[in-house]
Amino acid sequence: MSKYLCRYLPTTSFQGTSERFMCSRCEYNCSTRTLLDRHQKFHEAALACFMCGYFCKQKAVLQTHLRSHTKKPFKCIACSYSSDCKASFQKHAKSHSNDKPIQCTFCNYKCKQRSNLQTHMRIHSDVKPFKCELCNYSCKLKSSLRIHTKTHSYDKPFQCPSCDYKCKLKSSLQIHIRNHSDEKPYQCAQCDYRCKQRSHLRTHIKVHSDDKPFGCHQCTYKTKLKNNLQVHLRSHTGEKPYACTVCPYKCKQKSNLRTHMMIHSEVKLFKCPYCDYRSKLRNSLQIHLKIHSAEKPFKCAVC
């Protein structure tokens, strides 16, 4: 490392008739104030980098700088990561440890790095520094903005392997794929309810509360869920905002449209466990299953 260390020794002097800028500490002179200012710093900082002209006052600082011109001496034994900065290397090494010493003061969140905690703390505030350039959307996390930005694209790179469904987000595909299976990873802590989506669980949990904050301004109807109120209000207006893209069918609820769209699909998701019967609609399967039971719910009113 010592071969890169050098003391500044002026070896050049200029003579001429044009105006020159003279160094007050040595015989150096130059044509511009900028060059003179740069030269003066060499008198203040005794140590300079041989390779780029970087200068500093402390030998340890210069040695740290010199690593930027060499290979990265700090190598991780657990992966291929390497660095020329010891602090960066130590920060990386924590990623291989299960220890999470930094904890949020508002919740049970723990993390390995203080920068992660700073990002997490936005959840507990109303600050939304990341704004979409194409609409009024704003959010607390940069990662959320990246996901949102994809909604402005017509590209749908993720396709379901079992049907024609395509989407813009990988997370949306993962949620959709559960429709082809019985997997319900989200369970209510207060009852046996299970569901396929986290958002459905959040909605369900409100059922266990007696509070009904959403009231209709045209009748006495009250509900626990905002979505229920929005659907109810359509009974007063007759509005049917959900329209089929294949036929003239319209409806008041998105769930009804999803059910209807299965009619236009060749996929038959619902299979009878007793025979080869398959159907597009769950209701059709439920009706079919009565064939395999002794149940006879429909009785003649005459005999």
Q: For 36-46, what is each residue's pLDDT tens digit?
A: 887 777 666 56
Please give the pLDDT value at position 44.
Answer: 66
Residue 232 belongs to a domain: no
Residue 178 belongs to a domain: no
CATH code at position 41: 3.30.160
**Alpha-carbon distance values, 264 to 17, 145, 164, 261, 271 (Å):** 91, 34, 12, 5, 18
Tokens 């039971």, residue located: 293
Residue 195 CA to residue 185 CA, distance in Å, equals 7
Please give the pLDDT value at position 299.
Answer: 81
Residue 40 belongs to a domain: yes
Residue 198 belongs to a domain: no
Please give the pLDDT value at position 94.
Answer: 75
Residue 159 CA to residue 178 CA, distance in Å, equals 14
**Which residue type does 82 have?**
S
Check the CA dihedral 168-171-173-175 and report its sign. negative
Residue 12 belongs to a domain: yes
Residue 208 belongs to a domain: no
pLDDT in tens, 2-20: 444 433 334 444 444 467 8
39: tokens are 């030269």
Please give the pLDDT value at position 275.
Answer: 92
| Parent domain of 127 | 98-152
195-198-200-204 Cα dihedral, nearest 10 degrees: 90
- Given a contact cutoff of 8 angstroms between Cβ atoms, the answer to whether 174 and 167 are in contact is no
Phi, psi of 103 (to 5 degrees): -125, 145
Please give the pLDDT value at position 5.
Answer: 41
* pTM summary value: 0.34
Q: Are residues 63 and 107 in the same domain?
A: no
Residue 284 CA to residue 276 CA, distance in Å, equals 14
Residue 278 CA to residue 281 CA, distance in Å, equals 9
Q: How many domains does the chain have?
A: 3
Residue 14 belongs to a domain: yes
Residue 272 belongs to a domain: yes
